[in-house]
Amino acid sequence: MSLDITKINPHFEDVMPQEYIDLVKNGPFGNEKSQKDLGTFKELLEEHPLCAGCNLALAFRILVGSLPNPEDTIIVGSTGCSSLAFSQLALHNIHSVFGNQNAVATGLKTALRLRFPDKIKDVIVMAGDGATADIGLDMTLHSWFRGDKITTVMFDNELYANTGGQESGMSVRDTVLYMAPKGKKFNKINLPDMAIAAGCSYVAVVSTARTKPISDCFKKAVLITREIGPTYIQIYTPCPTNLKIKPYESKKVATDRSKSDYQFREHITDDAKKYLESLKP
Amino acid sequence: MPSYNDLKEVSTEYMLFKAKREEQFITGSEAVREAVRRANIEVAISYPITPQSESMHLVGDLYAEGFVKEYFRGENEFAVMSEIAGAAMGGARTFTATCGPGTLRAFENFPMWAGARLPIVMAFMPRGVNSPLTIQPDTIEMGFLLDTGIMMLHAENAQDLYDMLLMSFDIVEQTSVHIPIGVFIDGFFVTHTRQKVHIVTEDVRLKPYNPSLSPVPIMDMETPPFRCMRDPFVMKSNYISYAAHASWQQEIMASAQRAKRHIKKYLGNFIEQENPSAPIQIVASGTAVSQSREAIKMLKEDGISAGLVKVKLIRPFPTKEIKNALSKTEKIIIPEFNRTGWLAREIASTIPNNDRIVPGPRVYGGMTMPPEVIVEVVKNGTPIGI
């Protein structure tokens, strides 16, 4: 967008909310930030209502604070805890129905490519594990098969958090959850490998145990998406509310898992690697 | 044949009422293609399901010829309607078509389209949705769609279909309207048969959609405000949240009412009447109208005078016009191509003294409706097929 659009009409300055004035004066528009800058600038996410100790909220904050071009980014979300944060976001974002986020993103990207052929518009999907790997799995995969230039991010809390903690396809085998009263009977869906097989140019598995990799991998993914093809980031974001643990212990869960069965993983195609190198000054 | 760039941009009024036309002998699906050729569509997305596949693969041919800017086959109907939504949210003029089971698979999207104020034009070619498997004509899905918030036009023949599609873009793209519209045409009976259709032959196309006239921000980060909301009222249990949702729904209904004057401009009256003073009136929509015309001729030979009310606009329902048209009627016959009789229900809830209605004949499961059946119902006063 033209950065002028964010500016405040001088006649309205006295009635604009302070948060908006801060956003224009000290926000990330036209001024790329990353995770290390959090706390030093006015963030796009304002007063989210997610639970204390929510790791999804932490990941969301890092992602939104790491956008390479927030002024030309449109995010497509889905139903779930994350949809409660989207309404607090100072970016154009879409919630339509549950599970169709990658399909909506495909249509949106198509329209924006037609309308702004000379501009890069980053279309990013951010949704939970239920939306991405269960109800929306066919649309997630098909957007990858088609090679649509969309960055897909999954907040993986391994259950349906917003509806009270039911089993999802991303839940770990044998975990006892609502709708899995005797424990989950099949393995956690291996979506990162499916993403690679489906043609993603870049796939990263990270967790809230460490914040820098989330920011770094996400930036890489968005850049690669622009020129090379679809990318996928899976973030482990444990849910203290449904795990019935104290908010301040939730990050420790992520740390423990990141050392055992939820380790950092990265896959990058040669094309994508070459492209990233070409961007270096 | 001219190419896309040879076509001059004209108003919908010019396209419908002034542009030169020529009679062609084409199928209903080909009429869809000819409407889309001149509609300046940016994004068309298809899913192959009989009988929509023919019209949407003909639209694919238009893409190959350069008349449609983007086109692809989506993975299923739910996804296609979501992709169309995304394209419309991004400010593109869109088109797709579906029918029967495809409509049902995509269903969650239709109220979402209306709620998101998306100016989508879509063709439905209704067919059976029942199990065991059928692919035959049946308008039952129209009954399901009545309360989704989308506007509905019911075409009788390929000519209606062609004209209704071309007029729909300007209707839904009005700032005061900006909700979706479905143009319905009975599957197979019209889509797969050839009819004489007057097609615009002049080298013209509709003016492009102007997304800056949208009443809600286009999701392109070019249209302020970029902070559209504060507080997720989806989960709040308080009066302000309820009021926000309720007033939004009222606004969608009001949009449909505001559309009426634009629909009237192009469609003329929402209903068409023949022999309005006759004591017996046959009220129908879609191909049931054509069958009713034949029945009326046969009745005339037997000395029975019956009139016809062709209902073109189904949503918003032309309550006032129907009430006036049937104010002095003694017997009202409503032939339908579905089991549930949704049109009869609509009429019954609209007019006083609705015991005047004989809610049939109804045919379904792919049956045709011989005019003799309508004649029999008129003569005996008892419905058939209920």
In this prediction, residue B181 carries a pLDDT of 98
Report how far residue A1's alpha carbon sits from residue B270's, in angstroms, rounded to the nearest whole number.
43
CATH top-level class for B4-212? alpha beta
The A residues from 204 to 223 touching B (CB cutoff 8 Å) are none
Domains B4-212 and B271-380 share a fold: yes
For the beta carbon of residue B327, count every other beta carbon within 10 angstroms: 10
In this prediction, residue A20 carries a pLDDT of 85
- State whether B86 and A49 contact (CB < 8 Å): no
Q: Does A84 touch chain B (CB under 8 A)?
A: yes
Alpha carbon of residue B314 to chain centroid: 8
Please report, to the nearest 10 degrees, the dihedral formed by the alpha carbons of residues A152, A153, A158, A161 taken in order: -110
In a domain, A112, yes or no: yes
Min Cα separation B96/chain A (Å): 12
For the beta carbon of residue A181, count every other beta carbon within 10 angstroms: 8
Min Cα separation A107/chain B (Å): 4
Report how far residue B126's alpha carbon sits from residue B364's, in angstroms, rounded to the nearest whole number.
12
The A residues from 57 to 76 touching B (CB cutoff 8 Å) are 71-74, 76
Report how far residue A215's alpha carbon sits from residue A28's, in angstroms, rounded to the nearest whole number.
15
Min Cα separation A228/chain B (Å): 20
Of A46, A103, A114, the CB nearest to B69: A114
In this prediction, residue B292 carries a pLDDT of 98
- State whether B226 and A6 contact (CB < 8 Å): yes
Report how far residue A153's alpha carbon sits from residue A82's, in angstroms, rounded to the nearest whole number.
11
A49 exposed, middle or buried (CB, 10 Å; 0-12, 13-18, 19+)? middle
Contacts of B83 in chain A (CB under 8 A): 103-104, 106-107, 110
In this prediction, residue B231 carries a pLDDT of 64
Report how far residue A177's alpha carbon sits from residue A242's, in angstroms, rounded to the nearest whole number.
9
In this prediction, residue B51 carries a pLDDT of 55
CATH top-level class for B271-380? alpha beta
In a domain, A23, yes or no: no
Contacts of A111 in chain B (CB under 8 A): 42-43, 86-92
Report how far residue A104's alpha carbon sits from residue A127's, in angstroms, rounded to the nearest whole number.
13
In a domain, A8, yes or no: no
- State whether A107 and B45 contact (CB < 8 Å): yes
Please tell me which residue, B188 or A218, carries the higher pLDDT value: A218
In this prediction, residue A2 carries a pLDDT of 62
In this prediction, residue A113 carries a pLDDT of 97
Give residue B335's identity as a one-letter amino acid code.
P
* Domain count across chain A: 1
The residue count for chain B: 386
Note the pLDDT tens digit of each residue in A35-63: 999 999 999 998 888 999 999 999 999 99
ipTM surpassing 0.90, yes or no? yes
Contacts of A89 in chain B (CB under 8 A): 227
Q: From its phi and psi, is residue B40 left (phi > 0), alpha (psi between -120 and 50) or beta?
A: left
Note the pLDDT tens digit of each residue in B206-243: 999 999 999 999 999 998 877 777 665 666 677 888 88
In this prediction, residue B232 carries a pLDDT of 57
Min Cα separation B106/chain A (Å): 11
- State whether A108 and B90 contact (CB < 8 Å): yes
The three state secondary structure string of chain B is CCCHHHCEEECHHHHHHHCCEEEEEEEHHHHHHHHHHCCCCCEEEECCCCCHHHHHHHHHHHHHHCCCCEEEECCCHHHHHHHHHHHHHCCCCEEEEECHHHHHHCCCHHHHHHHCCCCCEEEECCECCCCCCCCCECCHHHHHHCCCCCEEEEECCHHHHHHHHHHHHHHHCCCCCCCCEEEEECCCCCCCCEEEEEEECCCEEECCCCHHHCCCCCCCCCCCCCCCCCCCCCCCCCHHHHHHHHHHHHHHHHHHHHHHHHHHHHHCCCEEEECCCCCEEEEECCHHHHHHHHHHHHHHHCCCCEEEEEECEEECCCHHHHHHHCCCCCEEECCECCCCCHHHHHHHCCCCCHHHEECCCECCCCCCCCHHHHHHHHHHCCCCCC
Alpha carbon of residue A55 to chain centroid: 12
- State whether A88 and B230 contact (CB < 8 Å): yes
For the beta carbon of residue B365, count every other beta carbon within 10 angstroms: 13
E runs forming strands in A144-280 = 151-156, 202-207, 231-236, 265-268
- State whether B222 and A1 contact (CB < 8 Å): yes
Query: Which of A112, A139, A140, A146 should we substitute to test contact with B (largest number of B Cβ atoms within 10 Å)?
Result: A112
What is the H or E stretch that residue A128 is in?
strand A122-128
Query: Which of B40, B226, B248 should we substitute to test contact with A (largest number of A Cβ atoms within 10 Å)?
Result: B226
- With CA atoms as reference, report the closest residue to B368 among B194, B190, B197, B195: B190
Model confidence at A66, pLDDT cuts 50, 70, 90, reads very high
Note the pLDDT tens digit of each residue in A168-180: 999 999 999 999 9
In a domain, A267, yes or no: yes
**How is chain B split into domains, by residue range?**
4-212, 271-380
In this prediction, residue B242 carries a pLDDT of 85
Domain of A235 in residue numbering reads as 49-279
Note the pLDDT tens digit of each residue in A230-276: 999 999 999 999 999 999 999 999 999 999 999 999 999 999 999 99
Cβ–Cβ pairs < 8 A, chains A and B: 153
Give residue B148's identity as a one-letter amino acid code.
T
Query: Which of B78, B212, B221 should we substitute to test contact with A (largest number of A Cβ atoms within 10 Å)?
Result: B221
Q: Does A146 touch chain B (CB under 8 A)?
A: yes
Q: Which residue has the tokens 């013209």?
A: B204
- Please report, rounded to a whole number, the percentage of residues in chain A having pLDDT higher than 90: 88
In this prediction, residue B82 carries a pLDDT of 98
In a domain, A90, yes or no: yes
Sign of torsion, CA B64 B67 B68 B70?
A: positive
What is the H or E stretch that residue A93 is in?
strand A93-94
In this prediction, residue B245 carries a pLDDT of 87
Report how far residue B304's alpha carbon sits from residue A14's, in angstroms, rounded to the nearest whole number.
76
Q: Does A91 touch chain B (CB under 8 A)?
A: yes
In this prediction, residue B103 carries a pLDDT of 95
Average pLDDT score over chain A: 95
Cα–Cα distance list, B111 to A96, B11, B143, B151, B252 (Å): 10, 29, 14, 11, 10
Residues of chain B whose pLDDT is less than 70?
A: 50-53, 230-236
Q: Does A226 touch chain B (CB under 8 A)?
A: no
Assigned token pair, A143: 């957007």
In this prediction, residue A18 carries a pLDDT of 87
- State whether A87 and B220 contact (CB < 8 Å): no
Contacts of B212 in chain A (CB under 8 A): none
In this prediction, residue B323 carries a pLDDT of 98
Q: Which residue has the tokens 């399909």?
A: A103
Q: What is the CATH number of the domain that holds A167?
A: 3.40.50.970
Note the pLDDT tens digit of each residue in B150-197: 999 999 999 999 999 999 999 999 999 999 999 999 988 888 889 999
